[in-house]
A and B are shown apart, each in its own frame.
Chain A
Amino acid sequence: MRIKKRILVYVCSTVIGITAVTFLLIYILFYSYREQSFRKQQQNKIRYTVQLIQKYREQSAEISSILDEQDINDFFDEKLLVYDKEKDLIFSSLDSLEIYSARGLLHELSPAQQSVQTGEKHYDVLGAYIESNHQVYYAIIKAYDAFGYDKLSYLRNVLIALFIGFSLLVILVSLYISSKISKPIVLLADNIQRYDFSSNNEPLSVKTNTYEIEHLTERFNELVRRTNEAFVFQKRTIDHISHQLKTPLAVLVSELERISSTAADEGIKRELDRQVVKAQSLGNIITVLLEISKVEAGQELKKYSTRIDEMIYDIIGELHIIYPGFNFHIKYTPQEFDENRLEVWVNPLLVKQAFQNLLSNCIIYSSENKGSIEMDASQNGFLRIHISNKGATITEEEQKMLFQHFFRGENSRGQAGYGLGLVLTQKILAVHNADVSYNNQGDENYFTVTFVVE
């Protein structure tokens, strides 16, 4: 999530959430206040009515109409029932409203329980125990608090309108603030995104008066400067080492070729040719190591469209000079397919070295004078090269370390080597988005190289 959006979401959700809770609390408190206020009002009404009943007891026949007239003037939509100490009804207002819970409430009322309340739909129902002039009365009143509910409804509408208005204001203010705060960070991130590390760019500059952003920009420029210096140093060192190692090798190859061309003995001539191939191979390994170190240091690898099978035939031809008695059985799967599926974008020098290692191993570790190579283009999007031979296999324990530096299995005992060939092979293939795997069946060893074909 972008920082601007994050600020917006955090601020809006926090402020709007707190506001919503506050407004809800106000509404609940006012709702409770209305109930209390209305009940107090109703209790006063009961007390006043009971006093009137006592005062005009003897005129009981007329009292109802007198009281009711007053009631109707004072309250609308309400019913009042008054009982004597025996809980016999002595007064009932004329309103046709019924109190359904009257019996239950009356039963609950006692000197110990002097007030009970309940609700019937929107009506408040209140029962009260009253002592007046040493007389005991019970009264139950049911009424609709039109005035209170009206105020409550007004308050609710005001709070909703305020909430919507306030939320919109918070969103707008948050948008402005988040934009203001994130602008230099976004600018810095965009500049870093566009920064071309492969060329010598000008130092990054972001116009801001924020200390942290200025500091980040300065540190980034410092980092780039140091990295560039390290790259230059590394490039010079690699070039220097390359020159120091490859020049004497080239001289050696040239000398060996010269001696070979003048040698009279066929046996010596053949041996010299083998040494030439080995020296050239050493030169190639040095080049590959330097190329891999460049790639690992972040430099881009040059790749070309390459026919993998043609490359393998070239390697077989070169290996034939060193191991003339060894034969490869080559097979294509399937028999007919588009030859483009044999073409892969690779650095030929590096991938050739990878296959050279695998094919050399295939020859060295074979118990027979033959090995097999299968060019498998049967699965769309993949090209697999299976290289197999018969010979001592690698145990499951050893397989876990097969592609680690300096690992040499039991089957390599008595063979020259340093345990670096397969590590190099795996590294080369990894930078080409390819991989190498090993498995065995009986006394057959299988190495499979898998390329992703675009």
Chain B
Amino acid sequence: MWSLMMIRKSISPAAGDSANTKEYQILYMLIDNKDRVVSKAELMKEIWGGNVDYNTNTIEVYINFLRNKIDKPFGQQSIKTKVGYGYYWDIS
């Protein structure tokens, strides 16, 4: 949990400990389900709720924001894409 708290601050430093941004929620969900692929529909439903259409590029845009913060600066690829299905966490 501590490491997630640090990540949360790095994602949204202005919001501090009370941060509950969508990016943090996506990251939390991927890490929490690191043994499996999380589908786009699942992410949309859990994070955006039932009132946002699943057919949207929102997830792609947010995954891109996340990669710019936690992968690109360190030359790694921790959020991987399962084409046509979803995303999974792989830090190996």
Task: Name A residues whose Cβ lies closer than 8 Å to a Cβ of B.
Answer: 305, 307, 310, 313, 316-317, 319-320, 324, 326-332, 335-336, 339, 370
Contact = CB atoms under 8 A, between A and B. Distances in A.
A317 B22 CA distance: 13
Contacts of A326: 51
B49 A330 contact: no
A100 B61 CA distance: 99
Contacts of B64: 335-336
Contacts of A305: 14
B50 A320 contact: yes
Contacts of A319: 51
B68 A339 contact: yes
A329 B55 CA distance: 7
Q: Most B CB atoms within 10 A — which of A307, A328, A330?
A: A330
Q: Which 7 pairs of residues, A with B, have the shortest CB-CB distance? A: A329-B53, A320-B51, A332-B61, A339-B65, A330-B56, A330-B58, A327-B53
Nearest to A317: B49
Contact of A328 (B22, B51, B61): B51
B21 interface: yes
Contacts of A330: 52-53, 56, 58
Interface in B32-68: 48-53, 55-58, 60-61, 64-65, 68
A244 B47 CA distance: 38
Contacts of B53: 327-330, 370
A310 B61 CA distance: 13
A347 to B, nearest CB: 15
10 contacts: A313-B48, A316-B49, A316-B51, A320-B50, A327-B50, A327-B51, A327-B53, A329-B53, A331-B57, A335-B60
Contacts of A332: 57-58, 61
A313 B14 CA distance: 18
